[in-house]
Amino acid sequence: MIRLAKFIASSGYCSRRAACRLIESGIVWVNGKPAGHTMKVNHQDQIFIDGEPLCPTTGGKTYLLYNKPAGIDCVCDLNNAASIVHQIKFKHRIFPVGRLDKDSHGLMLLTNDGDLCHRVLHPDHHHEKEYKVTVDRPIDPLFCQAMAKGVSYKKVKTRPCQINQISKSSFKITLTQGLNRQIRHMCKALGYTVTDLQRIRLMNLKLDNLSSNVYRHLTDEERIELFNAV
């Protein structure tokens, strides 16, 4: 017997975090009754999500690297024309590991492995994510130092990070946390506006020359290194 959210994630339906949101919304039922977060289940239980039976993914686990274009929403919502589910027409359900905001572009990891998703996103693990960022005016060493030390905004202070200037108004930044629209908020707090934001690396996975709106399967080497890291 395992917690319901973990069971839903391990079935390949969605990430564990998304499963918790589904349970909280009241659309998950187990054996004819509304489900709760502390409920434990196994394969003998009848689990329905929004009126549809939960069916484990067949065909094994899938791990894809996708170059998301700007304008695509990472929320898996069939009713949203901009949703990523309309771009990745895969043979079975997959979901993004974390989010990249709609205005940003670059590397996304897509999978049906809910346990891997949970381990990659867990805030205690501090996994690296690297971005190329362009802002609306020239930056200087003081800006880079302030970003690297951590920036305060909206009652939070970001964790120290690595930053390298690559042109007059652009830089690379490596974060080890995943706050919502973090880089945009950090820049805004320092008086800058982000005009372009691209994720180029997640842990050992690199975007390299993958074309926009194209996905590929992870190589065996990438997959092994990713699993060793988590």
Q: What is the DSSP letter of 204?
A: T
* Residues 139, 165: Cα–Cα separation, whole Å: 8
Q: Cβ atoms within 10 A of the Cβ of 89, count?
A: 6
* Residues 63, 85: Cα–Cα separation, whole Å: 15
* Residues 217, 57: Cα–Cα separation, whole Å: 17
Contact indicator for 60, 112 with CB cutoff of 8 Å: no
- Asked if 103 is an active-site residue, the reply is no
Distance of CA 187 to CAs 121, 135, 171, 195, 207, Å?
A: 23, 8, 12, 11, 23
Residue from 101, 115, 140, 220 carrying the catalytic annotation = 101
Active site residues: 101
